[in-house]
């Protein structure tokens, strides 16, 4: 199972939030420095989130473009990707995969017309659907809104248009308190597509448990920056 370091960007800085709340932010410096460090330690994939775009308060497109030019790692980008044009721009710049959340949920109610276009224009192999979940429901708009849409129902309908899923358990995100196995197992068991797990991962035991459940990869953020999780490599 691959381990994917996370770089969440807010106002050009690398930060980590607890449950997506801005008031909980803690800064960790220059994103480019971290990209180089993770690559030097053997990371194959880096997960980049544009928090400004996700929250509708700006974007970090130029910095993401610089990241793409800086590294040979695969870069998957999420955060505020709510138009075909923005997604096409990132793919053109060299982004390996895009992670879409709000757009995919909105599209669920419109017969997936946007995802169908994206399949034609960038290919489904580049699209990851974000499953940002709280109590079995999908959250949207930078986790500021909770929808009435069931996580598993949404996955069932959207899977024909995407490469795989990124599942985040919002209840434990950023807390370094460990994972909740039940919702992770439900998500992995509900699909044959690759599932990447995020949220609360803080120990090798967490990673081993996720691997045993059959996840494709795990995204790790705060535990890396705080030195709580010491990795010898980015595969387990």
**pLDDT tens digits, 112-159:** 999 999 999 999 999 999 998 887 888 775 555 556 789 999 999 999
- DSSP per position, the chain: -EEEEEEEEETTEEEEEETTEEEEEEE---HHHHHHHHHHTT-SEEEEEEHHHHTTS---HHHHHHHHHH-SSEEEEESS--SHHHHHHHHHHT-SEEEESHHHHHHHTTTTHHHHHHHHHT-GGGEEEEEEEETTEEEETTTTEEEEEEHHHHHHHHGGG-SEEEEEETTTTTS-S---HHHHHHHHHT-SS-EEEESS--SHHHHHHHHHHT-SEEEE-HHHHTT-S--SSSB-
Q: Is 206 a catalytic residue?
A: no
Q: Is residue 112 part of a domain?
A: yes
Average pLDDT over residues 13-27: 84
How many domains, in total, are found in the chain? 1
Q: What is the pLDDT of residue 210?
A: 96
Residue 25: which pLDDT band, with cuts at 50, 70 and 90?
A: confident
8, 107, 169, 206: which is the annotated catalytic residue? 8
Q: Is residue 233 part of a domain?
A: no
Residue 58: which pLDDT band, with cuts at 50, 70 and 90?
A: very high
Q: What CATH number is given to the structural domain containing 29?
A: 3.20.20.70
Q: Is residue 160 part of a domain?
A: yes
Q: What is the pLDDT of residue 70?
A: 94
Q: Is residue 230 part of a domain?
A: no
Residue 18 clears pLDDT 70, i.e. is over it? yes
Say how far residue 69 (Cα) sits from the centre of its chain. 20
For the entire predicted model, the pTM comes to 0.92
Q: Is residue 122 part of a domain?
A: yes
Q: Is residue 195 part of a domain?
A: yes
Q: Is residue 100 part of a domain?
A: yes
Residue 99 clears pLDDT 70, i.e. is over it? yes
Q: Is 8 a catalytic residue?
A: yes
Q: What is the pLDDT of residue 229?
A: 86
Q: What is the pLDDT of residue 177?
A: 64
50, 132, 169, 206: which is the annotated catalytic residue? 132
Structural domain of residue 165, as residue ranges? 2-225
Q: Is residue 218 part of a domain?
A: yes
Residue 160: which pLDDT band, with cuts at 50, 70 and 90?
A: very high
């Amino acid at each position: 199972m691959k381990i994917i370091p996370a770089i969440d960007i807010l106002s050009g800085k690398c930060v980590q939030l607890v449950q997506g709340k801005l008031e909980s932010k803690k800064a960790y410096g220059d994103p480019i420095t971290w990209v180089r460090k993770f690559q030097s330690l053997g990371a194959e994939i880096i997960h980049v989130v544009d928090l400004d775009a996700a929250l509708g308060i700006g974007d970090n497109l130029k910095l993401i473009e610089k990241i793409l030019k800086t590294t040979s790692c695969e870069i998957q980008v999420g955060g505020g990707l709510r138009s075909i044009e923005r997604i096409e721009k990132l793919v053109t710049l060299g982004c390996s995969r895009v992670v879409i959340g709000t757009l995919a949920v909105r599209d669920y109610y419109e017969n997936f017309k946007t995802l169908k276009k994206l399949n034609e224009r960038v290919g489904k192999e580049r699209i990851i659907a974000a499953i940002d979940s709280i109590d079995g429901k999908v959250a949207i708009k930078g986790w500021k809104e909770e929808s009435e849409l069931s996580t598993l129902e949404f996955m069932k309908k959207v899977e024909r248009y995407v490469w795989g899923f990124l599942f985040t358990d919002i209840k434990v995100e950023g807390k370094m308190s460990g994972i909740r196995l039940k919702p992770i197992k439900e998500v992995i068991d509900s699909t044959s597509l690759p599932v990447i797990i995020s949220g609360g991962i803080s120990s090798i035991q967490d990673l081993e448990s996720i691997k045993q459940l059959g996840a494709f990869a795990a995204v790790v953020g705060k535990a890396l920056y705080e030195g709580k999780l010491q990795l010898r490599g980015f595969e387990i």
